[in-house]
Amino acid sequence: MSYSDTWLVVPVYNEAEVLGEVVSEALQTFPNIVCVDDGSRDDSARIALNSGAHLVRHPVNLGQGAALQTGVEYARSRPGANYFVTFDSDGQHQVADVERMIDKLRADEADIIVGTRFHGDTSHIPWTKRLLLRTIVALSPQLRTLQLSDAHNGLRAFNRTVGEQFTITHNGMGHASEIIAMVRRYGWRVTESPVTIAYTEYSMAKGQSLLNGVNILFESLLRTSFRR
């Protein structure tokens, strides 16, 4: 199946070590990839370009949320772009998972599909991460209402309707909560799709620290409190 109508949006910040491999592998299935270099100090930008991806560079470091927003803005301006995927650059996400998500979108089962780590066996997920993510879901009325089990999974796929309305204002890691808020605000049809996250030594070292997770948790609590 051709995925020429699908764009992978890959936020990049100092990922020179693995980026080339991640992009090259994804390009075998998805011909359209935009890497958003968020002010990397290493060779990430050059590697992204040499790998055959489109490259957009932030003039200054803004954060992952901002990189996603920039990438989606770029992708939706490209002719023929109908489906969009947010895809991490550290090698955690699997191309096969993305294919399944796009197929579901094509079948019009949802407007946005969020990857979840919590369908089936979860023993490969580090217990601290599991505990934190479960706590965030338990404390979030929005996630409970939408019946989402893994809101902070970076792998998401959505159609043009969502792509047009997609506006993240949180520059940093709080964007995941903001995406969930947008789902409710715009009434997007949302569903989950089981995905496998590869917890390699590299991705564990590069991924969100526990402190970041606590920050997200705190921010989610604040949002909930203010809404009330």
Partner 1 sequence: MSWLDAVPALVAAVAWLLVPGVLSSYALGLRGLAAWTVAPVFSTAVIAVSAIVFGKLGIAWSASAAGAAALVPAAAFLLVRLAFGRGFSPAVRPDQVKVRLAGWLGLLPALAIGLSIIVQGFRTPANLSQTYDAVFHYNALRWVLESGNASSLALGSFGSSFYPAAWHDITSLAVLSSAAPLPVAANMTTAAIAVFMWPLACLFLSRQIFGPSIPALAITGTASVAFAAFPWGLLHFGVLWPNALSFALVPIGVGAGLSILGMTTQGLLNRTAAWVLFGTTLVATGLAQPNATFSIAALLLLPGCHALVSWMHGQHRAGRTTRGLLGGAAVLALAVASWVFVHSLSRITSVKNYDRWQPFQSITAAVGEVLLNATNGRDALWLLSAAVVAGMFFAFRSRITLWLPFAHVGLAALFVMAAAVQTSTTHIFTGFWYNDSHRLAAMLPITGVLLAVGGVIGTAAKLREWAHTRELPSRMRNTRLISVPALTGALGALLLVVTTTWYQNWAVESLRMTYRAVGSSAETLVESSEQEFYSRVDRVVPDDAVVAGDPWDGSAMLWALTGTHVLFPHLNPSSGNEYLAEHLNEAATDPKVCRLMSKLNVRYAIEGTSQYWLSNPGNDSYPGLTDLSKSAGFELVEQQGPLRLYRITACDPELASHTPEPRSGA
169 binds partner 1, rule: CB under 8 A: yes
Query: Applying CB under 8 A, which of residues 1, 28, 59, 138 lies at the interface with partner 1?
Result: 59
The answer to whether the beta carbons of residues 58 and 88 sit under 8 Å apart is: no
Beta-carbon neighbour count of residue 126 at 10 Å?
12
Closest CA to 14 of 53, 36, 55, 43: 43
Nearer to partner 1, 66 or 183 (CB): 66
Which tokens hold the place of 115?
């990857």
56 binds partner 1, rule: CB under 8 A: yes
Query: Applying CB under 8 A, which of residues 70, 149, 177, 220 lies at the interface with partner 1?
Result: 70
Cα 64–Cα 69–Cα 71 angle in degrees, nearest 5: 95
Exposed, middle or buried by CB within 10 Å (0-12, 13-18, 19+), for 83? buried
Mark the segment that binds partner 1 (CB under 8 A) among 64-72, 95-103, 138-146, 149-157.
Answer: 64-72
164 binds partner 1, rule: CB under 8 A: yes
Mark the segment that binds partner 1 (CB under 8 A) among 18-26, 56-64, 81-89, 95-103.
Answer: 56-64
Nearer to partner 1, 57 or 104 (CB): 57
Which tokens hold the place of 57?
């560079």
Least spacing, CB of residue 172 vs partner 1, in Å:
10
Least spacing, CB of residue 168 vs partner 1, in Å:
9
Alpha-carbon radius of gyration of the chain: 16
Least spacing, CB of residue 227 vs partner 1, in Å:
15
Exposed, middle or buried by CB within 10 Å (0-12, 13-18, 19+), for 74? middle
Q: In terms of DSSP bridges, do strands 156-159 and 112-116 run parallel, antiparallel, or are they unpaired?
A: antiparallel
Distance in angstroms between the alpha carbons of the first and the last residue of the chain: 47
Query: Applying CB under 8 A, which of residues 17, 73, 99, 103 lies at the interface with partner 1?
Result: 73
109 binds partner 1, rule: CB under 8 A: no
Closest CA to 100 of 114, 89, 90: 114
Map tokens 């520059």 to a residue: 171
Least spacing, CB of residue 80 vs partner 1, in Å:
9
39 binds partner 1, rule: CB under 8 A: yes
Mark the segment that binds partner 1 (CB under 8 A) among 69-77, 137-145, 188-196, 198-206.
Answer: 69-77
Which residues in this chain contact partner 1 in the complex, by CB under 8 A? 39, 41, 56-62, 66, 69-70, 73, 77, 79, 164-165, 167, 169-171
